[in-house]
Structure 1
């Protein structure tokens, strides 16, 4: 994770080899890493930019401002990039409309079907049922080489991360069914609305 990478590159820049840095961090807890950064490098990890510590999230927010920030009367959706605690409940409590009401069972003819014969019918069907969410993860190929060629800052290159966020925002514009995206390190994951018909929901 980012805390590990922050410690790792701080150790490497201080003169340790990559092998020595990995060995020094082996088995350390989050508290140990915070202590190492503070005592050896005078770095308070909690003061690092949220983009580095928490990753980036892209979603459609409901706002009452135009693109220039001027107030408007009607609520509109705006693609927004934020850096927050994705695990905590606060964001999801304030943005319940993103996921909506997820179905937790299949219903056919007003009756729930769980029997073997019903489930067996899906053996040769490659279309995802509507109770399944579609998540697409995009991971950078040969990222180490790419970052070396473009002289990325270690452990975090803000320009590269902002470029990733801009690309994620464009993805949401190109694919309206994307309701949420999360980026961290060299990858981005996109959640599509539950009943998306993207590629006819073919799982292959």
Structure 2
């Protein structure tokens, strides 16, 4: 069976989203990333209700929320690289890789997947693919960047199946988390996401994660 569950609907917000949307995004975000392999502090995770709207307001900010009925099944949050100082700092440590150097030279031409999460009850149904395809639709940026915790092996494998390639890893000075940085040309990734494929159940949370502080 291929493609996303036809009962999944998506709503996309550009630049801002209503408080009720952030409420359901926050609940899903806390549930997904407090669980293994992330094990983050639920109280800290809940702060997405404050910093999420700020990220969405960045140039190129877009939030896509997937729902099945009244249930929030997942969300993806992206924005341009230009004003994202933590990501620019991380890429500076990886500048020996041509893709990182290219993004630093042309930050206006790069898109950051800041967060991507799917509710555990809806994994393996093509929701992550649908979300990423939605936030990449009609984008002008040539390159996509995504960070994922090295310990999240299922998420890493999913992104690599979609053709994203590793350009390096980063660990902040006060962090015990290693962030893998992956990239793809936007047009190539959009094409691969639009090509029907076998659904693969991902048992752990899938997520592009905000980077630890440089």
TM range (shorter): under 0.3
| TM-score scaled by length of structure 1 | 0.22
| TM-score scaled by length of structure 2 | 0.21
Indicate the structure (1 or 2) with the bigger Cα radius of gyration.
Answer: 1
